[in-house]
């Protein structure tokens, strides 16, 4: 086989590109921003100035910077681009028009699919980093504004989660954060027993998905389920076996 170099590209083999917030927190295994989360190479690109506060406020002033960072990922050979915050949904429409690779900026993009997995009378529960910021604008950007179908629980008032992720104190107690995330999920399903499927919106929450499922008994979707799904579509595997 003969391979051709791509002008300006100095590394290869990273199918998924991930745009990162400009934040400082311990990104543990299972987090979108930890490379050991994946069974395949990924390429990270930080967007300077795109802070947690600005993304919670749906700041569109950095759209050109975000687009430039995404184009940089594309120019370095990634086959699809995602983000590390569900609220990056607000940039989805612009990026899909500007890029030549698939774009899936928010875990919330899974909601239309999830809604087809459950009965009409049942609901989707979302555990989010900030319930106040998860408004109809964000949901609509993902085709996920489904009135009467969604219940939301936020972690913004959870002491350990907030200190590590929102206030960026620089330290994360995995066990304490897991306890808070599980408590939020249990409180949600107790308050809304018709919730039959869960989504962890925030990119730092996948490490706690197994504990949430163990406590609730429900299917749990998150950023990593989405990234793995897209990867399986853009890098197809051959099958070997016998009959």
The pLDDT tens digits of the residues spanning 73-102 come to 999 999 999 999 999 999 999 999 999 999
Whole-number percent of the chain with pLDDT over 70: 100
Please write the tens of the pLDDT for every residue from 145-161: 999 999 999 999 999 99
- pLDDT of res. 225: 98
Which of 2-16, 19-33, 140-154, 178-192 is predicted with the least confidence, judged by mean pLDDT?
Answer: 2-16
Closest CA to 84 of 224, 233, 180: 224
| Strand duo 16-20 + 42-46: pairing | parallel
- pLDDT of res. 4: 87
| Distance (Å) of CA 222 to CA 18, 48, 99, 136 | 15, 25, 24, 19
Please write the tens of the pLDDT for every residue from 187-237: 999 999 999 999 999 999 999 999 999 999 999 999 999 999 999 999 999
Helix (H) or strand (E) holding 215: helix 209-216
- Is the distance from CB of 29 to CB of 36 less than 8 angstroms? yes
* Domains of the chain with bracketed CATH: 16-106+227-234 (3.40.50.1860), 107-222 (3.40.50.1860)
Closest CA to 223 of 63, 24, 42, 14: 42
Please write the tens of the pLDDT for every residue from 61-71: 999 999 999 99
């Amino acid at each position: 086989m003969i391979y051709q170099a791509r002008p300006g590209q100095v590394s290869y083999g990273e199918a998924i590109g991930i745009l990162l917030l400009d934040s400082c927190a311990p990104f543990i295994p299972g987090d979108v921003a930890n490379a050991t989360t994946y069974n395949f190479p990924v390429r990270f690109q930080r967007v300077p100035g795109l802070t947690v506060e600005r993304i919670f406020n749906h700041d569109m002033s950095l759209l050109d910077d975000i687009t430039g960072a995404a184009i940089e990922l594309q120019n370095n050979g990634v086959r699809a681009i995602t983000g590390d915050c569900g609220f990056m949904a607000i940039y989805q429409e612009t990026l899909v028009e500007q890029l030549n690779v698939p774009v899936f900026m928010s875990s919330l993009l899974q909601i239309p699919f999830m809604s087809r997995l459950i009965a009409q009378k049942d609901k989707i529960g979302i555990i989010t980093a900030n319930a106040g910021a998860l408004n109809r604008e964000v949901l609509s950007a993902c085709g996920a504004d489904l009135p009467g179908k969604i219940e939301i629980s936020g972690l913004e008032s959870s002491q350990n989660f907030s200190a590590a992720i929102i206030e960026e104190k620089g330290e994360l107690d995995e066990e304490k954060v897991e306890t808070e995330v599980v408590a939020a999920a249990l409180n949600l399903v107790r308050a809304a027993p018709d919730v039959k499927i869960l989504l962890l919106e925030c990119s730092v929450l996948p490490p706690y998905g197994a504990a949430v499922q163990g406590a609730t008994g429900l299917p749990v979707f998150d950023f990593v389920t989405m990234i793995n799904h897209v990867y399986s579509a853009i890098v197809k595997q051959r099958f070997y076996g016998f009959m």
